[in-house]
Amino acid sequence: MKINVNELKNHVDEEIVFSGFVDAIRDKKWVMFVILRDATGKVQMTIEKSEEANKELLDIMSELTVESTIRVTGKVLSNEAVKLGGLEIIPSKIEVTSKALPLPFDFNNLDGVNIDTRMDYKWLDMRNRRNTLIRQVESCMTEGMRRYLYENHFTEIHSPKLIGAASESGSDVFEVKYFDGVAYLAQSPQFYKQMALAGGLDRVFEVGPVFRAENSNTNRHATEFTGFDLEFAYIDSYEDVMDLEEDLLIAGLTAVKEKYGEEIKEVFNTEVVIPTKPFPRIRLKDLYQELHDRYQFDIPTEDVGDMNAEAEKLTFKLAQEKYNSEFMFVVDYAATKRPFYHMRDSEGKLQGYDLIWRGMEITSGAQREHRYDELVKNAQEKGLGKDVEFYLQFFKYGCPPHGGFGIGLDRITMLLLGLSGIKETQFLFRGPNRLTP
């Protein structure tokens, strides 16, 4: 097995095999320094020119382009003069495992490189440490949240993405040819995570793709993104759902801070802040008032009962200024603006929320309507007929009270690292004009 750069310190004076990219070649008069790179870091390989035995190695390296990959057999030496971790590899054998053509751009300096070019060559863009770090941080955040859920007896499920009817709003759904008929791409695992509860599992979650046919070119919308969704039973109110989301995010952010906090500060100049509980919670009506009084902002008529991008930005400002918090739950949205499966209380008040973080909505959640008759009424009010008939069946044979939420994982990663947009954040961005690579 290959030894990684971050493990070399445990193998000083040993003969090892190292494989990686050729990051740089510094050909000096008496010595050739080759910087090698793998996913864990960089190391120097030193080839003395005066040694007769090194002639073959020098021949191989002098013909090689940077970004080629090699497999080196050699000895690890400790050498204080070496800037890269005080270690060097003295090779006895070098095999070229792949040869690189000249690169279309310098991934170490992405400043002037167009985002579309970067996306076209995503695998080169990613060789910049900043971009591999994005993936590692997202993975760490997911791991931290998953661990929290496993420890709290959640079961991970995998629901189908090919479905027979729209799962959220009918207008944002992708239709695909399905043999002689049509199918749709799931806009959310919403109906199926609830079905799992009707099936007797009382705590479930899913991390998976979510498809939205939204023809919008903003920094926060993708046509395919990763949803972190969960649902749990026997709650008393949507307050329980918000409580759990607080713990979940704290678990994820703590994992990220422990493992990558320092590097994030160094590379992205951003602090990972672990929030304290409870996150502030505000009614939409009161929020409108605060935004008006403090920032002279009034929600446009078409968005009354809901939020818009500007309101989300100012909500973050308010959260920081008034509550010293980066997070803010907003409750009491208008039922007309929310899905039919959100519960309303006896006065018709919606039992759902959005969570705003660093100026953007990252989550929608709610207590769900689990009473069959009420649910049918809500669906009828929204003019939903045949499409939701299969879903309504789940509530006919006993179903515990429950609630849950869906987090946009890409948005979390973007905000966590202070990135400029979702194109830069996603492993492979999908938008109205992009389906490749």
Question: Which are the catalytic amino acids?
Answer: 212, 214, 220-221, 361, 364, 411
The nearer residue to ligand AMO, 37 or 220, going by C-beta atoms, is 220
Which of 57, 59, 38 shows the shortest CA–CA distance to 47?
Answer: 57
Which window, 98-106, 135-143, 322-330, 401-409, contacts ligand AMO (CB under 6 A)? Answer: 401-409
221 forms part of the interface with ligand AMO (CB under 6 A): yes
**408 lies in the site for ligand AMO, by CB under 6 A:** yes
Q: Can you say how many angstroms the Cα of residue 64 is from the centroid of all Cα atoms in its chain?
A: 37
**Half-sphere exposure at residue 52, Cβ-oriented, CA atoms within 13 angstroms:** 0
Reported as half-sphere exposure (CB side, CA atoms, 13 A), residue 92 has a value of 8
The structure tokens listed for 103 are 């690169």
**CB of 183 vs ligand AMO, minimal distance in Å:** 19
Closer residue to ligand AMO, CB minimum distance, 188 or 378: 188
Q: How many CA atoms does the CB half-sphere of 425 hold within 13 Å? A: 26
CB distance 312 to 220 below 8 Å: no
Determine if 212 is a binding residue for ligand AMO (CB under 6 A).
yes
**Interaction of residue 359 with ligand AMO, rule CB under 6 A:** no
Shortest distance in whole angstroms from residue 427 CB to ligand AMO:
13
Q: Which is nearer to ligand AMO, 242 or 366 (CB)?
A: 366
Check residue 338 for interaction with ligand AMO (CB under 6 A). Answer: no
- Going through 284-357 in order, the beta strands assigned E by DSSP cover 327-331, 352-357
Selection from 236, 213, 235, 233 nearest residue 225 by Cα: 213
Q: Near ligand AMO by CB under 6 A, which window of 42-50, 223-231, 295-303, 325-333?
A: 223-231
- DSSP states of 401-418: -EEEEEEEHHHHHHHHHT
* Burial of 350 (C-beta count, 10 Å sphere; 0-12/13-18/19+): buried
Helix axes 409-417, 129-151, angle to 10 degrees: 120
Nearer to ligand AMO, 229 or 332 (CB): 229
| Rounded least distance, CB 371 to ligand AMO, Å | 18
Cβ distance to ligand AMO smaller for residue 20 or 227: 227
Under rule CB under 6 A, residue 410 binds ligand AMO: yes
E strand or H helix that includes residue 37 = strand 31-38
Helix, strand or coil, per DSSP, at residue 90:
strand
Q: Does residue 222 belong to the site contacting ligand AMO (CB under 6 A)?
A: yes
Contact 34, 51 (CB under 8 A): no
Where does this chain touch ligand AMO (CB under 6 A) — which range of 77-85, 105-113, 267-275, 406-414? 406-414
d(CA 415, CA 425): 9
Q: Identify the residue among 67, 88, 168, 206 touching ligand AMO (CB under 6 A).
A: 168
Strand partners, 185: 162
Give CA–CA dist 49/45, Å, rounded.
Answer: 13
Q: Does 225 bind ligand AMO (CB under 6 A)?
A: yes
Verify binding: residue 361, ligand AMO, rule CB under 6 A. yes
107 or 405, CB closer to ligand AMO? 405
Binds ligand AMO (CB under 6 A): choice among 20, 91, 359, 406: 406
Number of residues that bind ligand AMO (CB under 6 A): 22
Of all residues in this chain, which one has the CB nearest to ligand AMO in the complex? Answer: 408
Identify which of residues 257 and 423 has a Cβ nearer to ligand AMO in the complex. Answer: 423
Among 23, 214, 240, 387, binds ligand AMO (CB under 6 A): 214
Provide the token pair at 15.
């003969």
What burial class does residue 323 get, using C-beta atoms within 10 Å of its C-beta: 0-12 exposed, 13-18 middle, 19+ buried?
Answer: middle
Q: Report which of 422, 311, 394 is spatially closest to residue 356, judged by C-alpha positions.
A: 311
- 252 interacts with ligand AMO by CB under 6 A: no
Closest distance to ligand AMO from the beta carbon of 364 (Å): 3
Near ligand AMO by CB under 6 A, which window of 82-90, 221-229, 326-334, 377-385? 221-229
Q: Would you call 431 helix, strand, or coil by DSSP?
A: strand
Rounded to whole angstroms, how far apart are CA atoms 5 and 36?
A: 9
- Residues 362-391 touching ligand AMO, rule: CB under 6 A, are 362-366
Q: Of these, 146, 411, 423, 430, which contacts ligand AMO (CB under 6 A)?
A: 411
Q: Tell me how far apart the alpha carbons of residues 89 and 73 are, in angstroms, rounded to a whole number.
A: 9
Nearer to ligand AMO, 234 or 265 (CB): 234
Instruction: Report the interface residues with ligand AMO, using CB under 6 A.
Output: 168, 188, 190, 212, 214, 221-222, 225, 227, 229, 361-366, 404-406, 408, 410-411
